[in-house]
Structures are given as C-alpha cells and as structure tokens.
Structure 1
C-alpha cells in the first residue's frame, strides 16, 4: 500500500483549503500543506485488507459516537475483486468489538460466501440494492442515531443552517414512506432509487443512510450528517423561543460551500484524524 502525498495539491479544492489553513509557501504564515490522498494498492488482497480494517474502525467510531443501538445499524464495503459482493458486520456483534476478521462477505443476493455468523436481513435488503443501483459506491452506512431518526420523523430535509450542513446542500434524497422494517428486495430498491445520485438519503420515520467512494468517506458523511441533524433540531428548538425561524444560508453561498466541503475527497480526508485516533486506541481491529 502506498499513501500518496506528492500530487495532493492537484485538486484545487484541497489546495485552497491547505492555503487557507497554513498559508502558501513563502507567505510567512507557515509551510505549504501537502495533504495525503487515498492510498494505492499493488493487489486486490492488499486493498481488501485495507477496506476491512477501515470498516472495523468505522464501527468502533460509530460506537464511540453513540450510533449503536442494540442490533440496529450496518456499514458495508464492496469487495475490490468480487465487486458484486460486500463485507458487512455480523448480526448481533457489538460495534465496539468488531475486528476485520469478524466481517462477513455476502453476494448480491445476500448469501454468505465468506466468514461466519448471521447477517442482518435489513442490511442485505438495503445495502445490496444500494450497491447495485450505484456501481460507483464503495461503501454505505446506516445506523439509528438519535438525531437522524428524530429529524427523519419531521417534515423537513437537511437545511443549510450551518457551514457543515452545506456539505449536503442539494445532495440528499428522501425515501418518503415508512413501510416497516426493511427486509424485502423491493423496499431496498426503493431506497436505492430515493438515494439517486446523492451521498445521503433520509429514510422517513427510520433514519439516515450515506454512501461514498470509500469506507472513510461514507462513515464521515454519516457522522457529520448525524451532527448536522442535531444542530438543526437544536436551532429550531431555540428559534421557537425567539418567535422566528433559524437563519438559512443564501442558496448561492450554500451551493459554493457544498462544492468546497461536500466532494468525495473531502469526505475521505475528514476521516483521517478519526482514523488516527481509532487505530491508536484499538489495535485489535487488525486481528
């Protein structure tokens, strides 16, 4: 595995963020920042190990963030070699205990083809359909976070109330009807259709789901979406006492900000400090 840094500034959005953070070289504000880019891999086996370790780390982070609730929730990652199959958490194992060796691989029908342990039927119904609908998606995340599921029960979407919320500006779908626990392929396909080309979808009276081109970005989008939902609910609660609604960011500014913080590489990069913490504190994720 090789972690690239030499060509990082080629994305102008990353370069702009770097310049804003530490200043261009020679400005007197510090050295030029050359952030890392996603790693490259020599073999599919090497990439598979990376994806599985990152998936285990994502579950550990979800547990720390309070995004575990009994047996609810699942994150999947597409296998780099067998691309119509996906690694997922075994049903009933607490997020805080998941190691890369605990993960189970299921094919596009939901049948277990590698690993041991049962798989959540809802994970099969939702994730197999989402991955099938979006060949560009490497990972998908869904959990029953308290703020995400609260917002999902209200007649609202993700509003541009804060800079962080703008990552989802015009970039989320809505699955508008709750039809019970998702166990059937038809409902899974409906969720995939509601997601469309976005990176997030609100599942009415259920919660949220996010996707990304890596485990890292999908997990980050879910974490920041849950916090965005929390901020939005708090803003409306506080505004009620003021007799006026929250202040929305101007659409033009929201759209511009979305382009600066809501793109795939930004999601991957935002995950890196979390990965540093989780990999240090939980070395058993490699086991």
Structure 2
C-alpha cells in the first residue's frame, strides 16, 4: 500500500507566514495562497511521501521492528552505546497495550527484528517475542510510564547514555536555539528532568521522568543520566535522538568557545525558532528525515531482509 499523505498543514503562524515565502515545487508561495505541508515545501518536483500505511497489522509490525533494528544500528554506528545501557520501545500496532523492546546485553549493532521482546505496558508481563534473553528492567519502568501517559501520540521511545548527552546533562539546563536543526526542540518540545534518583529500579522514577516530559515533549535531558526522545514512529524518535545528542555536542563546543566572553553567542529568535519548528518538527517530515540513515543501515547489513531475520517467529500474546 502506498504511503499515506499528510492530512493537514503544520504551518499556521500568520505573522511568520506573512513575513516569509516558501518554495513549493520550484515556485514562490506567499501567505495568500494555500499553505504547503512541510513535505510539499521541501520537495522540488515530486513530493516526498511520509509515514506509510499497511493493509495488515503483521506488515505494519514487520516494518516497525525492522526499522527499530535499523535505528539501533544507527545508534551503534554513531557511538551511542554504553555496556548494557540504552533501550528503544515501540508500541505494537495491533495491540496498543503491548510494546516491543530490545533484549538486555545484546549490542545495538547486532540487533535484528527477531531479537525483540514483547512486554505488556501495564504490568511488564512478557507477552511474546524472543524470550531467550531478559528485558531491561529499568528500561521497562521508564518506557512503560511514558507509553501509559502518552497513549495517543507516543508510539516509540529512545533512551541511551551518550557522551555529549551525559556531559550536557550535568548542567541540568535546556539547550539554546543555536542552530536551525535544534529548533525541532523549541519551547516545551524539550524537557529537562533536573533530578537524579539513581538507577531506575522503582516505578516512581519512571513516573517522574514521564511527568517531566509532559504532554508535548519530544525529547528530554535527564540530569546526570542521558537523553530520551519520543515519536509517533521509531523513525521519528530515532532521528530526534541523534539530533538531540549532536545538539548537546554543539552546545558544549559553543559554551567552550564563548567561555572567555570575547565571542558572543547568537541565539535564534523565538519567531524564527517557532517557524523552523512548525516546518520541520512534524511526524511525516521527521519520518523522512530518518530514512537516509535507515536505508544506509539496510545497505551496510546486506539488505533489509538481514534486519528482518527472525521476524516470522515473533508473535505477541494477549491475555
């Protein structure tokens, strides 16, 4: 089945729209004309297609778990691993009370769809998948709290302990809008959990992290801990995770360069940051942003089928 189209435009800020012109298929579009969707605005010629739809739940599940494996391999390739730490969860498309997670102790760069474990979000019950390894208990407590709090718009959660993310988290501060790209986290899209309750072995800490993320957060800086992102697809959450980690690295470099006070920082204005957010931080656009890295991982693995290994043996069970 062909990918679905974007239902509505993400560009609605009239003050910004009147100020700017957007290129749509090679021509300039002003505020008086029909507003382009983000993918229409960025596409010159054939419009990019966004999040796909599927005729069966099985096909949807396969797509999600194969792309989940690709995002794990992308995180491994970019140095986002630390022993057994880090996890991604994806809500099952057929049974929304279930989520898929990676097994404890298997390297991100080795994961395929057949490695994933299915857990019941409400209870932690192992509900299928590959049960040869355990799930990560701390990961379950964090991810389940977020999935329970945001059932409608969060279908994937990424968390890992990266170098830049942990370094910036020590300040317990949000990122500044220093670049065009970090505007994906403008305003309440980026939360800061400015507490540290130790390794998450209790439900309370997971609930506090979910509470800090709030109703609209796309990412969170967890003080003295690491980074976390969410999305409607694992592709969106994965792209945002890489972006958040790189943005922490950029902020650290800018802070170091500006430390002597002789080089002033130039922060993007609220108006411009809001415009960038509306045009870029939309589920279909963010899904497309992830596809170059996903396709690269397919190529490096020897084809998409390599990341689908073991999928046919997976089956979630409901009580």
Give me the TM-score of the superposition, normalised by structure 2.
0.82
- The correspondence for 1:180, drawn from 191, 198, 217, is 198
Tell me if structure 2 keeps the 8 A contact 1:236–1:245. no
Query: Which has the larger helix fraction?
Result: 1
Q: Which residue of 2 aligns with 1:234?
A: 253
- The correspondence for 1:110, drawn from 111, 114, 124, is 124
Map 1:208-223; keep pairs closer than 5 Å.
208-223=227-242
Higher relative contact order (CA 8 A, sep 6+): 2
Are residue 268 (structure 1) and residue 287 (structure 2) matched?
yes
Tell me if structure 2 keeps the 8 A contact 1:9–1:34. no
Q: Which residue of 1 aligns with 2:307?
A: 285
Give the secondary-structure state (helix, strand or coil) at the position aligned to 1:40: coil
Are residue 96 (structure 1) and residue 99 (structure 2) matched?
no
Tell me if structure 2 keeps the 8 A contact 1:174–1:201. yes
The CA deviation at 1:286 is: 1.2
Q: How far apart, CA to CA, are the structure 1 residues paired with 2:239 and 2:24? A: 20
Q: How far apart, CA to CA, are the structure 2 residues paired with 1:32 and 1:24? A: 10
What is the alpha-carbon root mean square deviation over aligned residues?
2.1
Q: Which residue of 1 aligns with 2:58?
A: 45
- What residue ranges of structure 1 are gaps of 5+ in the alignment? none
Q: Which residue of 2 aligns with 1:124?
A: 140
Q: How far apart, CA to CA, are the structure 1 residues paired with 2:282 and 2:242? A: 15
CA spacing shift, 1:63–1:195, aligned 2, 3 Å: same
Tell me if structure 2 keeps the 8 A contact 1:8–1:35. no
CA spacing shift, 1:10–1:111, aligned 2, 3 Å: closer
Give the secondary-structure state (helix, strand or coil) at the position aligned to 1:140: strand
Map 1:19-168; keep pairs closer than 5 Å.
20=23, 23-24=26-27, 32-108=45-121, 109-114=123-128, 115-116=130-131, 117-135=133-151, 136-168=153-185
- What residue ranges of structure 2 are gaps of 5+ in the alignment? 12-16, 29-42, 310-319
Runs of 4+ displaced beyond 6 Å: none
Give the secondary-structure state (helix, strand or coil) at the position aligned to 2:288: helix
> What's the CA shift string for 1:56-94, capped at 9, x where partnerless?
111000000100111110011001111111101000000
**Number of residue pairs aligned between Structure 1 and Structure 2:** 277
